[in-house]
Amino acid sequence: MVSPALPSGNASTESVSLTRIDSSALKALKQDIKGSVVLPDAAHYDELRRPWLEVLEQHPAMIVEADCAEDVVASVNFARDHGLSLGVMATGHGIAAPCNGLLLRFTKMNGIVVDTARNVATIGPGVVSSELLKATERHGLVYPAGQAGNVGVVGYALGGGIGWLVRKLGAAVDYLVGADTVLADGSIVRADDAAHPDLFWALRGGGGNFGVVVSLDIALTPLKNVFGGELYYPLERAAELLRFYRTWSSQLSNETSTIFRVVAVPPAPTSPKELRGKTVCMIGLAHADPATADTVLAPLDQLGAPLYHDMKKRSIASMAALDPASHMKNAPAYGQVEYLNALSDDVLDGLAGLAHTKIPPLTQFEIQQLGGALLNKSFEGRGAFEPSSSSYLLHLESPAVKASLTEIAGATTEAFAALGDVYTGEKYYNFLRGDEQPKVERAFGNTKFARLQQIKAQYDPNNLFHLNLNIAPANA
């Protein structure tokens, strides 16, 4: 799953003119930067300014392709001292606000070191999930990766991080060991349980509000393969399949993570021929103990032969590759996530109705099963991330293929409203849109949010890092 966003109200809409920046200062910055400073007249400027999630336009006065932590320090200092808004973008999957000042890009900071003695990976801010999994899986190790392989790991992990192993391992944020972070004053600090523990607590769930993480340590778990994949069935069976899914998934152990999806499959040659151009139901799963996969699959036999399936023993990287978003370079999309109180009969009937009436203009809806290790008591209190106790979340997500973003937004709002009062009201930081800034506090709860604001006031009192789902400093 990707986290679609719309622009927030945190950013100016006009590009900053370079004429207001002293030419000697700009020249000095170019000399200081080991990577590159890209200005609007550069041939590759447009490519670098575009986020993966194309829901906003941004025209930064300059883009710094950082090559090292010192480049990040120089960029932070320059933006602060010259009154420029500062944007930080690895891939732009979760972009919340446009940057029209100095935009930091990390495509060159994609180093990965796997320490097999400690089972820890140290990564740069430009590393995407598929790259990390490729490096770790050769050692029989994984991290709690998301459903898409082209998402930046640092942003994904700092905002929570739930994916195909959520019930087995929990959230990626709970596996963070330490982070080298550039602060608003240009200093570099190590944040972990021993050094700057308050900052480390805030980073684990609070995203990029407190500094720029230039190196992240993630604990790894031994796991060679899962048994998993997707099974597809006719749309006409939606009501039956939803009820089956509720019963079947509720009886699974924490070794198994599942999703249920209704999706309009593109009529593209890359889609399985049995599914091309059809709207279908899909049950997906990742079972972490391939030797016992038969016990998980046996109940599915009562559904009869699927239209198509690709269930097999495979890597987590292979699971992520199943998501079409993993293979898209850029995509305008709109989505919304809500935690469900329960998969009640009314919810299931409502979803079956939406499958027939809202696709199109929507492209898909997805139920993701939660629980299991996500609620592991040993993780409590270690970070700002606040996991929901809900057993399922509902995610409506649609790229602007068959309708405009405006049409999709309207249909999404109508779809969620049609189900009635069935949501917990909690929010997941990683899946908030940019226009949901007023809901940020609900991702943490009042107590944690107040503590985050106090830590923000300590480390970024002037809110330099505000082009995000922002946590303002206390008493701002």
Which helix (H) or strand (E) element contains residue 130?
A: helix 129-137
The one-letter amino acid code at 219 reads: A
Q: What fold is seen in the domain 112-222?
A: 3.30.465
Closest to 133 measured CA to CA, from 269, 315, 380, 383: 315
Q: Would you state the pLDDT for residue 2?
A: 47
DSSP secondary structure string, 412-466? HHHHHHHT-S-B-----GGG--GGGGGGGGGGT-HHHHHHHHHHHHHH-TT-SS-
Over 60: is that where the pLDDT of 181 sits? yes
pLDDT bin (cut points 50, 70, 90) of residue 7 is very low
Give the H or E element holding residue 226: strand 226-234
Which residue in 451, 469, 461, 455 sits closest to 185, CA to CA? Answer: 461
**Tens digit of each residue's pLDDT (9 = 90 or more) over 294-350:** 999 999 999 999 999 999 999 999 999 887 766 667 777 888 999 999 999 999 999
Confidence of residue 369 (pLDDT cuts 50, 70, 90): very high
Which is nearest to 220 in space by CA: 371, 112, 116, 373?
A: 116
Q: Give the three-state DSSP class for 201.
A: helix
Q: Where are the alpha helices (DSSP H) in 258-367?
A: 293-297, 316-320, 345-357
Average pLDDT over residues 399-404: 80
Tell me the β-bridge partners of 215.
180
Neighbours of 250 (CB within 10 A): 12
The residue to which tokens 């900052």 are assigned: 199
Q: For 226-435, give the CATH class.
A: alpha beta
Tell me which H or E stretch contains 212: strand 212-219
What does the block give as tokens for 154?
Answer: 């640092």
Residue 312 contacts residue 229 (beta carbons within 8 Å): yes
Contacts of 436-445 with CB under 8 Å at 24 or more apart are: 436/469, 437/8, 437/9, 437/10, 437/96, 437/469, 437/470, 440/469, 440/470, 440/471, 443/386, 444/205, 444/206, 444/384, 444/386, 445/386
Cβ neighbours for 256, distance < 8 A, ≥ 6 positions apart: 167, 168, 285, 286, 287, 288, 296
Q: What does CATH list as the number for 18-105?
A: 3.30.43.10
Domain ranges of the chain: 18-105, 112-222, 226-435
Lowest-pLDDT range of 29-33, 125-129, 145-149: 145-149
pLDDT at position 19 is: 59
How far apart are the C-alpha atoms of 131 and 114, rounded to whole Å?
12
The DSSP call for residue 264 is E
Answering whether pTM is above 0.85, one says yes
SS3 411: helix
Q: Is the pLDDT of residue 358 over 60?
A: yes
At 46, is the secondary structure helix, strand, or coil? helix
Matching fold, domains 18-105 and 112-222: no
